[in-house]
Amino acid sequence: MGLFSKKLTARQWTEVEERLEHLERQMKALTLEWNDAYDRLKHMMGRVAKRAAILERLEESPTVIEHGVELPGVATNPRLQAIQQKILARRDRLKTNGGQ
């Protein structure tokens, strides 16, 4: 009892065509959704790879030792050093205050 085992009426053909069009729309929507998800994943993986490259470059660069803390080579910039010192001071305060 397949599609072509009997003659279909015009109404039945219309129903078959409507079902086919509906399935085609669903397939197109799924394809668009998959392409969107793939693009987002590709973008996120690019960011992860960029971060990994930056970390690798930092590990290879010379470091500056200040106040017994080893700072990556990026902190050789005076502005960045000041920011880093503020961060470290805040961390020290948080440690001495019991994390509060």
Alpha-carbon distances of 74 from 19, 52, 57, 68, 77, rounded to whole Å: 61, 15, 10, 17, 7
Q: What is the pLDDT of residues 43-66, one digit of tens each?
A: 999 999 999 988 888 777 655 555
> Are 89 and 82 within 8 A, CB to CB?
no
pLDDT, one tens digit per residue, over 4-16 is 667 878 888 899 9
pLDDT, residue 25, reads 98
Q: Where residue 18 falls among pLDDT bands split at 50, 70, 90? A: very high
pLDDT of residue 42 exceeding 80? yes
Q: Give the residue extent of every domain in the chain.
A: 7-60, 63-100
